[in-house]
Amino acid sequence: MQGEDDLRGLAKIMAFMRAVSILLVLMHFYWFCYGFFAERGWTPEIIGKILANFNRTAGLFEHTLYTKIFALLLLALSCLGTKGVKDEKITWGKIYIALTIGFVLFFLNTSLLKLPAGIATSLYILTTSMGYIVLLMAGVWMSRLLRNNLMEDAFNNENESFQQETRLIENEHSVNLPTKFYYKGKWNDGYINVVNPYRATACCGLPGAGKSWAVINNYIKQHIEKGFAMYIYDFKFDDLSTIAYNHLLKHANKYKVKPKFYVINFDDPHRSHRCNPINPAFMTDISDAYEAAYTIMLNLNRTWISKQGDFFVESPIVLLTAIIWYLKIYKNGMYCTFPHTIELLNKKYEDLFTILTSYPELENYLSAFMDAWQGGAAEQLQGQIASAKIPLSRVISPQLYWTMSGDDFSLDINNPEEPKVLCVGNNPDRQNIYSAALGLYNSRIVKLINKKYQLKCSVIVDELSSIFWMGLSNLIATARSNLISVCLGFQDFSQLSRDYGDKEARVVQNIVGNIFSGQVVGETAKNLSERFGKVLQKRQSISINRNDKSTSISTQMDSLIPASKISTLSQGHFVGAVTDNFDERIEQKIFHAEIVVDNDKVISEMKAYKKIPQIRSFTDEYGNDNMKQVIEANYRQIKVDVVQIVESELERIKNDPNLQHLIQQRQ
């Protein structure tokens, strides 16, 4: 009851002030338009005395402006206490228009008083009255304005905006990306600080989301500037490779030992180095050969990834392992290359098994094949061998043989004494052919770089799902202490599940510390939204009846970045989270921002880029390009090598009394 009485009392005061304001305006008309009223006999003596005495005490009628200002102040005070029915149709725009019109009519008509009495005075009274009424209307609208109207934010942008990191936190390993983020109704400048890239980075987003332009390119540039050895898997060769080559030219002085730039490119041998991924010098155990065989076969047969352990999956892997290890031990590995492996596999299985089982370390390894052979299960044996031969037949190519049978460099790219920047190129049109060879390079690199006391190294993989990378999750999990930074680009997690299997995809998803996501949809968006957590948000409900409108505001925990926002991100806009260090704490780890790229500057830099130079010349003594002849000659030589291996080994076995049982078995 006390509260209602107070409200009634306040309403009476407001009404009184408004009445005084109106009275002042009327007295103002009488005082400054006295001649107009005098002509008509509307000048009671008592009113004149009252106004004269009032003017002497307050000075309100010395000038029209004083009276109007005082009347307007009383009007404004009376409107502040007015309780009106809220109306969401009333906006500040309408109020500003009314205030402008009222101000012009109420204050800017004083010059009319200087005109002769009559019509001019009538216009002055009319315009002042209209101005006052319009100002009164604007004041009433203010009292009816629905303040803090959350309904105006239909997409909940204000609730879902949050403070982000504005400091630049840089160290000798970090990647720092400038951003713009929306918070408290305005765009702010900030930074995404990946202060610990060794905890791995995943960058996902639909095609065209800006992964390469905004994130991956910056990883390449900034890590070269900070002296990292680097491995780049360039799915659309030579997009990333050209960036790396030109940036290395500018910043080679950032390395203690100047790194060399190497390229593996099966499409153009002129612009490709040669490298043997199964170099015997880097295979110390038969398990290394198994890893190589495993990688080759699963890249050629992606459906086998989910069938690991099946008989017809493991059989070709074991057979290929035995061949690789045999070439490793034969004549100190002088023929231990991927092309020699393929050619040897395609020889008669009677000759092949006779040769392989002549070595004690391989005899037990091939026991399943030998049991089938000796037991007369020819169809089973043929099926086991064919499951290895048929997929590998796709990679029989003179150019691929050329590239993988040389030794221009070794794959220990982070060797402090010989640092390298290696770019391995793929071709979307020949992905199924090249994936096995490229996967083999990848698996060998993982094995060689993940060691102590090596140079810090950055592994950049664009379009991860286009190859099967054996040991990837293990590299992410264990490489941090060896200063290996891994940055993976892919489209979404469902793509990883399809190409790597659910188990491996979940491991990669869950152990990556830094994550960037452009526009993604479906389960990937939901998983990311859950990862970013929830925040306290306001909710508003409005109740309207004939006489009143009530608004209630409540709070509840809701997604900080909902899946719907992630699925509608604009190009160049990313959400994500970063990790920090003990001595470099980042309070605002989560971000939802536009990564700022100076497009004009980048485009001008790219126009000035030099092309990757020709690495190898195939010019003969007459100045003609004989690349095709050289590559074909290498192809034929590999075939001749394998024929000679088979013939010499069979001759050795034939002349060895201890191996006569193998000759009898072969016959």
- Residue-wise pLDDT for 187-199, tens only, equals 999 999 999 999 9
Length of the chain: 667
Mean pLDDT, rounded, for 322-331: 92
Q: Could you write out the three-class secondary structure of 418-453?
A: CCEEEEEECCHHHHHHHHHHHHHHHHHHHHHHCCCC
Question: Do 488 and 605 reside in the same domain of the chain?
Answer: yes
Question: Do 473 and 603 reside in the same domain of the chain?
Answer: yes
Question: Do 128 and 183 reside in the same domain of the chain?
Answer: no
In a domain, 355, yes or no: yes
In a domain, 23, yes or no: yes
What is the model's pLDDT at position 150? Answer: 47
> Closest Cα partner for 325 from 303, 347, 309, 340?
340
The number of CA neighbours under 13 Å toward the Cβ of 249 is 11
Q: For residue 414, count other CB atoms closer than 10 A to its CB.
A: 27
Question: Do 158 and 131 reside in the same domain of the chain?
Answer: no
Q: Cβ contacts of residue 662 below 8 Å, gap of 6+? A: 354, 357, 358, 653
Q: Is the pLDDT of residue 457 over 90?
A: yes
Question: Do 88 and 163 reside in the same domain of the chain?
Answer: no
pLDDT, tens digit, 9 for 90 and up, residues 199-218: 999 999 999 899 999 999 99
- Alpha helices for 81-148 (secondary structure H): 92-107, 119-144
Question: Do 362 and 481 reside in the same domain of the chain?
Answer: no
Torsions phi, psi for 232 (to 5 deg)? -125, 125
User: Which tokens hold the place of 410?
Assistant: 């070794």
DSSP lists the bridge partners of residue 203 as 489, 516
pTM of the model: 0.76
Query: What H or E segment, with its residue span, contains residue 318?
Result: helix 311-329
What is the model's pLDDT at position 501? Answer: 80
pLDDT, tens digit, 9 for 90 and up, residues 358-417: 888 887 777 777 766 666 666 777 777 777 788 888 888 898 999 999 889 989 999 999
Q: Give the domain-ending residue among 147, 179, 196.
A: 147
Question: Residue 183 has what DSSP assignment?
Answer: E
Confidence of residue 341 (pLDDT cuts 50, 70, 90): very high
DSSP string for residues in 596-664: P--HHHHHHHHHTPPPPPP----B-TTS-B-HHHHHHHHHHHHHHHHHHHHHHHHHHHHT-GGGHHHHH
Question: Do 387 and 400 reside in the same domain of the chain?
Answer: yes
State which of 93-107, 178-192, 610-624 shows the largest mean pLDDT.
178-192
Question: Do 610 and 461 reside in the same domain of the chain?
Answer: yes
More confident: 155 or 626: 626
286-300 helix and 311-329 helix, angle to the nearest 10 degrees? 130
Q: Is the pLDDT of residue 502 over 90?
A: no
In a domain, 191, yes or no: yes
Alpha-carbon separation of residue 323 from 51, 333, 393, 394, 649 (angstroms): 118, 12, 16, 18, 14
pLDDT, tens digit, 9 for 90 and up, residues 627-641: 889 999 999 999 999
Query: Within the chain, what is the greatest distance between any pair of CA atoms?
Result: 150
Q: Give the domain-ending residue among 147, 164, 186.
A: 147
In a domain, 398, yes or no: yes
DSSP string for residues in 405-416: T--SS-S-TT-T
3-state class of 30 per DSSP?
Answer: helix
Question: Do 139 and 34 reside in the same domain of the chain?
Answer: yes
b (16+ CB within 10 A) / e for 624-635: eeebeebbeebb
In a domain, 426, yes or no: no
Domain count, the chain: 3
* Alpha-carbon torsion (364, 366, 367, 368), positive or negative: positive
pLDDT, tens digit, 9 for 90 and up, residues 63-122: 777 778 888 888 887 777 666 655 667 777 888 888 888 888 877 777 766 666 667 777
Average model confidence (pLDDT) across the chain: 83
What is the model's pLDDT at position 625? Answer: 75
What is the model's pLDDT at position 472? Answer: 81
Mean pLDDT, rounded, for 247-269: 92
- Pairwise CA distance, residues 107 & 254, whole Å: 71
Torsions phi, psi for 643 (to 5 deg)? -60, -45
Mean pLDDT, rounded, for 503-509: 86
In a domain, 357, yes or no: yes
In a domain, 62, yes or no: yes
Range of the domain at 660: 301-404+628-667
Mean pLDDT, rounded, for 229-238: 91
Q: Give the domain-ending residue among 147, 170, 196.
A: 147
Question: Do 52 and 192 reside in the same domain of the chain?
Answer: no
Question: Do 491 and 551 reside in the same domain of the chain?
Answer: yes
In a domain, 308, yes or no: yes
Question: Do 140 and 10 reside in the same domain of the chain?
Answer: yes
